[in-house]
Amino acid sequence: MKIGIMSFAHLHAEGYLQICRTLPGVEFVGFADNDPQRGEKFAKLFETKLWTSYEALLEQKLDGVIICSENNNHLPMIKLAADAGVSILCEKPLATSQPDGREILRICEEKNVPLMTAFPMRYSAPLMEVKQRLDSGELGRVYCFNGSNQGELPKKHREWFVDPELAGGGALADHVVHLVDVMRWYLGAEVIEVYAQSNQIFHADEVQVETGGMVMLTFDNGVYASIDCSWSRPDYWPAWGGLDFEMITDRGAILVDGFKQNLTVYSHVLQRPSWAFWGSDPNVGMIEDFIGSIQEGRSSRVTGLDGFKAVEVVLAAYESVKTGQPVKIE
């Protein structure tokens, strides 16, 4: 099983590479990057092979690629990989526009190439337990979610994360999709309406995109949900941010935090507390599912369509910010 990575633009490529190396039966062949400086830096750091063209990487008879490019480059990358007939795991958000998203789905279908979106929260141990209990009926019928996926300004990791063109926006584009996907997964329902407000008060002088945002969704089964997607966490917050929600059902409420399984570490070096996550890494389950889906010729638990549905919500949120009223998704 030969796996490669297309582009190291996204921070997550580092983790994915290391996970691939730990999985039995997986050969991590290397990665390609069109930025020579970035490519050499990470090739050296991880002692792995670097190709300077994506086509050259795809000639290595890969079974799967993980695409970690800038958000608006997902379409051309997927085109290349689909042409080569290689299974794809693509970073989120899948696309930055609806035409791009539709084109991605069309190409993969046409070339009969499996496409998976990187939504690791579907592989989070606490979130999976709640999904199981929900499906068993123990938790009753869901009324609503109060969700938060706040984080720090991601600029310090990669400059393009705050580039309106390359990232497709700011906090709304970055932090709405994860919880949308979790809720779609939990409910088996689709979002039919989106209301959103955003502002640019955090880091106002440093970036050209919205840094604060709140969204309210309505699903086709009547469930409603809010998501706080703000880049509101200070740089000295004990972690990068987090994802949590309160789920209210006819039995009461259940509070779920995907990133609470932490040590609190007080170090003389940092001079502030930091959280060291000891929970199970959701990325491992996600990559295992990707590999397993290729090996067994089955569908992965998250698909390209799931990625597209989340993108539709983000685009509706931007529309709502403009109009000041909720926006319907047909």
Partner 1 sequence: MRVGILGTGFMGVTHAMGWKKTDAELVGFAAESEAEARPVVEQFGGSVYQNMAAMLPDVDIVDICTPTHLHYEMVLAAAKAGKHVICEKPLALTIAQGQEMVTACKKADVKFYVAHVVRYFPEYASAYQAVQKGSIGRVATMRLRRGGFRPKKANGNWFLDEKKSGGMMLDLMIHDFDYARWVAGDVVQVFAKKISSMNPTAVLDYGMAILTHKSGAISHISGAWAYPPPTFRTGLEISGDGGMIHSDSDSTAPIINYLQSKPGEAPDVGLPSSPVIESPYTTQIKEFYEGIKKDSPVRLNAEDGLAALQIALAALESARTGKAVNLTTEVLA
Q: Which residues bind partner 1 (CB under 8 A)?
A: 143-144, 146, 148, 193, 195, 197-199, 201-204, 211-214, 216, 218, 222, 224, 226, 228, 230, 232-234, 246, 248, 250, 252-253, 324-326
Buried b (16+ CB within 10 A) or exposed e, 54-74: beebbebebbbbbbbbbbbbb
Alpha helices in 221-303, H assignment, sequence order: 282-296
Q: How far apart are CA 66 and CA 330, in angstroms?
A: 31
Nearest distance in Å: CB 249, partner 1:
9
Nearest distance in Å: CB 324, partner 1:
6
State which residue, 72 or 232, has the beta carbon closest to partner 1.
232
Q: What is the DSSP letter of 151?
A: B
Do residues 116 and 300 lie in contact, with contact meaning Cβ atoms separated by under 8 Å?
A: yes
State which residue, 165 or 206, has the beta carbon closest to partner 1.
206
Q: What is the 3-state secondary structure (H, E, C) of 104-124?
A: HHHHHHHCCCCEEECCHHHHC
State which residue, 198 or 293, has the beta carbon closest to partner 1.
198
State which residue, 255 or 270, has the beta carbon closest to partner 1.
255
Nearest distance in Å: CB 233, partner 1:
8
Do residues 171 and 209 lie in contact, with contact meaning Cβ atoms separated by under 8 Å?
A: yes
Nearest distance in Å: CB 33, partner 1:
35
Nearest distance in Å: CB 69, partner 1:
30
Nearest distance in Å: CB 130, partner 1:
17
Residues 6+ apart with CB under 8 A from 313: 176, 177, 180, 191, 194, 215, 217, 329
Cα-only R_g, the chain: 19
State which residue, 199 or 283, has the beta carbon closest to partner 1.
199
Q: At what angle do helices 12-22 and 282-296 cross, to 10 degrees?
A: 60
Q: How far apart are CA 60 and CA 41, in angstroms?
A: 22
**Residue 146 burial (C-beta neighbours within 10 Å; 0-12, 13-18, 19+):** middle
Nearest distance in Å: CB 139, partner 1:
13
Structure tokens at 15: 């983790």
Nearest distance in Å: CB 202, partner 1:
5
Do residues 49 and 4 lie in contact, with contact meaning Cβ atoms separated by under 8 Å?
A: no
